[in-house]
Amino acid sequence: MGWPRPASLVGFCTLVRGRPLDADGLRPPWRRRLHDGLAALHQQRHRRLRSFRPTDGSALQEEPGDRMAPGLGLPPPLLDLASNDYLGLSRHPGVIAAARAELESSGLGAGGSRLVTGTRPVHLQLEAALAAWLGRERVLLFPSGFQANLAAVTALADRGSLVCADRHVHHSLLAGVRTSGARLVRFAHNDLGDLERRLAQARSSQPDQTRLVLSESLFSMEGTSPDVPALAALCRRHGALLLLDEAHALGVLGPGGRGLAHGLEGVHLVSGTFGKAFGSGGAFLAGDALLGDWLLQASGAFRYTTALAPPLAAGALAALRQIEAQPRIAPELLARAARWRDALEAAGWRRPAGHGPILPLLVGDDGAALALQERLEAGGLLAVAIRPPTVPAGTARLRLVLRQDLPSGTLPRLLEALGPTPSPLRP
């Protein structure tokens, strides 16, 4: 006797060995796997979405949601110590005006991929301006940093390659390695000695193998930076390609905010985004003419996606002009970050690593990090607890972000809201 003939594909999928699903819908293995995975997730690591409305350049107001009692209206604004808008350019009048003018001229979306109908004059203008600013021969734009990193890794590595990645590189780079099929080895965070041992071993065993090194110039959850000149020199000695993700450094670190790879030989490809210091959205890859043409001809991540929205490109170009016109903004931000680190250390907190605008306060326990986040929110400050799997187990932290447009008096307010230092963190 044959199976019944369902009226639709949905009807067919509700049959298991000729019988309908149980009422709870968990009979198919894929549903059972998802259900069990969610049930096993500890409540302290359960994520949820929160909606915020900007009230001015430095404050956010949470929209009423399920966790808020009905009838209480909007909660008070929170001073934003979590966003990556380091230079405050997302609200800059010139940046907004440029995006608005492009919106009126070109429309909201590009309507096609770059190789079909999606390329607008503003895309070419932004690519040329970035290439000149960074001292690179070719720049290509992407709709997102995740997509740019996927394209970068798959352009430089294949199934016969070895990829050596810093232990803390962004998930998008690791996704690129998986897509490429290359063999992955991880080296200790910013440990060039460990990297050299791995490269030397690979070079000795397979001298003709393509070797690719992945790192970042400012690690978003650590606040740390590698010794980029030494890293580039090491890669040159061992004949390795170097892809450096400068998403969080551009506009802030390096000469004129051009990043830590600027002017260095041996950094073959730079990945950057416009969603941080540029205050816009989208991303790019910058390299030499050969790599640029290879990406154009062979990268599916570039060819088969709708082009970056023209208003975002126009906003990014206007932001670049602001960064070029105000060379003192980034050094002033870094000097302020040093003062914040000094004050936090003097208050008994472990000194946040690095010297950029990302200041992680290590707490350790997930629950303690969440409690600290809630304490700051009670004091009118928004900073987010970062927990595994984003960071290793036992290293939950509060990620503080210093921005150029934060009002004076923010640091004393932060220190008061933080309260007593947890005893394990005292020197």
pLDDT on residue 29: 86
The Cα 373–Cα 418 span in angstroms is 9
The single residue of 123, 168, 170, 268 carrying the catalytic annotation is 170
Mean pLDDT over the full length of the chain: 90
* For range 349-355, the mean pLDDT: 94
Burial class (CB in 10 A: 0-12, 13-18, 19+), 30: exposed
Q: How confident is the model at residue 32 (pLDDT cuts 50, 70, 90)?
A: confident
Q: How confident is the model at residue 24 (pLDDT cuts 50, 70, 90)?
A: low
Q: How confident is the model at residue 425 (pLDDT cuts 50, 70, 90)?
A: low
- Exposure of 230 in the CB half-sphere (CA atoms within 13 A): 9
pLDDT on residue 37: 83
Contact of 245 with 217, CB cutoff 8 Å: yes
Structural domains of the chain sorted by starting position, each given as residue range(s) with its CATH number in brackets: 52-90+328-425 (3.90.1150.10), 93-325 (3.40.640.10)
220 as an active site residue: the answer is: yes
The single residue of 80, 127, 245, 246 carrying the catalytic annotation is 245
The Cα 157–Cα 269 span in angstroms is 13
pLDDT on residue 348: 92
Contact of 85 with 275, CB cutoff 8 Å: no
What confidence tens digit (pLDDT) does each residue in 107-119 have? 999 999 999 999 9
The single residue of 92, 123, 248, 268 carrying the catalytic annotation is 248
What confidence tens digit (pLDDT) does each residue in 359-397 have? 999 998 899 999 999 999 999 999 999 999 889 889 999
pLDDT over 50 at 20, yes or no: no
262 as an active site residue: the answer is: no
Question: Does the pTM of the predicted model rise above 0.85?
Answer: yes
Local structure of residue 161 (DSSP, 8 states):
-
170 as an active site residue: the answer is: yes
The single residue of 102, 216, 222, 366 carrying the catalytic annotation is 216
* For range 319-345, the mean pLDDT: 96
Closest C-alpha to 221, from 344, 342, 397, 349? 397
The residue type at 153: V
pLDDT on residue 56: 74
* Residue whose entry in the numeric block shows the structure tokens 């996606």: 305
pLDDT on residue 372: 94
pLDDT on residue 237: 96
Q: How confident is the model at residue 21 (pLDDT cuts 50, 70, 90)?
A: low
- Exposure of 235 in the CB half-sphere (CA atoms within 13 A): 25
216 as an active site residue: the answer is: yes
416 as an active site residue: the answer is: no
The single residue of 161, 220, 225, 299 carrying the catalytic annotation is 220
pLDDT over 80 at 46, yes or no: no
The percentage of the chain sitting over the pLDDT mark of 90, rounded to a whole number, equals 76
205 as an active site residue: the answer is: no
* Residue whose entry in the numeric block shows the structure tokens 């790192």: 215
Contact of 321 with 126, CB cutoff 8 Å: no
276 as an active site residue: the answer is: yes
pLDDT on residue 118: 97
The single residue of 90, 276, 280, 299 carrying the catalytic annotation is 276
